[in-house]
């Protein structure tokens, strides 16, 4: 028998993903091992997106195998909550700077978000990774009824 904490409701999940600062994107390397990268992200319209540069290992991995896992959790503070997203990544090359600005605005004032997106684009070719979930699993230790984690 597998024991799992109760899940987040859809509203709790949406609120959690809107607030948490870091997601870990997991892609598969050529040798089958997992490449895990913590990234800023934006959750909108049921999809999760990341901004990065095209020369990154995660992009090479997605081109070979677009199946990814994304973990968003608050492991640094109780009560512990988390969301695991299994999905398919698509690479988006259209209007990338504007999309990165929108993503960075979760973390920075608009002027700073624009400066960062422009500055990064001057260094290396920017790209957006957009993940469409196939399956979402969540957990919420605040809903523990066993008393083990209280």
pLDDT value at residue 141 = 86
Pairing state between β 47-53 and 23-28: unpaired
pTM for this predicted structure: 0.92
Residue 17: burial class (beta carbons within 10 Å; 0-12, 13-18, 19+): buried
The tens place of each residue's pLDDT in the chain, 150 residues long, gives 556 788 899 999 999 999 999 999 999 999 999 999 999 999 999 999 999 999 999 999 999 999 999 999 998 888 889 999 999 999 999 999 999 999 999 999 999 999 999 999 999 999 999 999 999 999 998 887 666 665
pLDDT value at residue 144 = 72
Q: How far is CA 117 from CA 4, 33, 42, 134, in A?
A: 40, 31, 15, 29
pLDDT value at residue 1 = 52
pLDDT value at residue 145 = 67
Domains of the chain: 10-140 (2.30.110.10)
CA separation for the pair 140, 150 (Å, rounded): 12
pLDDT value at residue 5 = 83
Quote the tokens at residue 13. Answer: 């999940």
pLDDT value at residue 77 = 85
pLDDT value at residue 11 = 95
User: Bridge-partner residues for 51, per DSSP?
Assistant: 128
């Amino acid at each position: 028998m597998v024991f799992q904490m109760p899940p987040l409701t859809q509203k709790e999940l949406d609120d959690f993903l809107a607030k948490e600062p870091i997601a870990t994107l997991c892609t598969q390397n050529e040798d089958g091992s997992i490449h895990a990268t913590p990234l800023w992200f934006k959750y909108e319209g049921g999809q999760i997106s990341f901004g990065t540069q095209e020369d990154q290992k995660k992009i090479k991995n997605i081109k070979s195998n677009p199946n990814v896992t994304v973990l968003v959790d608050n492991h640094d503070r109780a009560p512990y909550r988390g969301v695991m997203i299994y999905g398919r990544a698509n690479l988006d090359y259209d209007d990338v700077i504007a999309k990165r600005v929108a993503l960075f605005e979760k973390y920075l004032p608009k002027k700073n978000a624009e400066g960062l997106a422009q500055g990064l684009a001057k260094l290396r070719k920017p790209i957006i990774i957009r993940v469409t979930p196939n399956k979402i699993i969540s957990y919420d230790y605040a809903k523990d009824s066993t008393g083990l984690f209280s």
